[in-house]
Amino acid sequence: MPAGRRTATDFARLATEAAHPRAAKLDTLGPQAIADLMLAEEAKAVKAAHARSAEIGRAAQLCADRLAAGGRLIYVGAGTSGRLGTLDAVECVPTFGVPPSRVVAIVAGGPAALTRSVEGAEDNVREADQRMRRTAVGPNDVVIGVAASGVTPFVRAALEYARFRRAATVFVTCAGANVEAAADVIVAMDTGPEVIAGSTRLKAGTATKVALNAISTAAFVLLGKTYAGLMVDVRPTNAKLWARAIRIVRALSGLDEAAARRLIEKAGGRAKVALIMHHAGVSAPKARELLVIHKGSLRAIVGDLPLHTSVEGT
């Protein structure tokens, strides 16, 4: 693997480091005026993400294709970007019933960097190579590099390693310069300068969170992890999620609460399996077999179901 990739960066030229013209007297404003300015800028972050919906869609399809082939979704980032990638990875597991091994997060500086700053971690190219090697990144995987500035050495090195290993790559950034060849799909959002210059946990962080949400959610929707806007693959690991699974089964079956709970229990805690058992009149093993045959798509097995909207919370 090539080494020594680090080149000098003129940070003063980065859009994310520029001073915001409306923030020249920020420290003289009252609390509501500060909040008004910040919230107005945050609204621009969503627009910046929406302007890249085509690229986000391509990234989602790429993720869905690699996951369907048995690969993994791997997020790589440093600082705020790394924490946002980790958040998205962690939330995919209970929401879509995905094994933790299929959605992985790599953060510069290791787990300690999730709760405190690890000095120099984002510049450590060698660590990026080592972490990617230990993760055994390969051709079936898709790697999403996240770097608001677009120049973070750890992330750029990780993406380079991923491409060397023939993994699919996505780069989510709030920079537009010098990122064209960094990945197969580039999601470059023009968020502009921050209210506090260089603090990319603000507007850039919001745009990044929105983009990652859209990529992962769209990917798992494409993989049949939802039905009619309901998370039918939810894993009921606590009381709240059990209540949600019961509501989902009730909404798509018309069963009462007690019957829905019993059905989910017979299905091994899987709402999707329970619904197939109910509508197809089959056992849990047969329902799971049907899911394999139909690549996880509930709709392909049961067709269009009426939504019982009278169920509270649906």
Q: Distance from first CA to last CA of the chain, Å, rounded?
A: 51
Structure tokens at 34: 């500060």
Check the CA dihedral 122-127-129-134 and report its sign: negative
Q: What is the dihedral of CA 147, 148, 153, 154, to 10 degrees?
A: -30
Catalytic position from the list 17, 41, 42, 91: 91
Task: State how far the Cα of 207 lies from the Cα of 149, in Å rounded to an integer.
Answer: 13
Tell me if residue 257 is catalytic: no
DSSP assignment of 135-197 equals TT--TT-EEEEEESSS--HHHHHHHHHHHHTT-EEEEEES--SS-TTSSSEEEE------SST
Cα separation of 287 and 273, whole Å? 6
Position 27, amino acid? D
Q: Which residue type occupies 1?
A: M
Please say whether the beta carbons of 232 and 210 come within 8 A. no
Q: 3-class DSSP state for residue 114? A: helix
Residue 122 appears among annotated catalytic residues: yes
Catalytic option among 41, 55, 122, 194: 122
Is 309 buried (19+), middle (13-18) or exposed (0-12) by CB count in 10 A? exposed
Q: Which residues are catalytic?
A: 91, 122
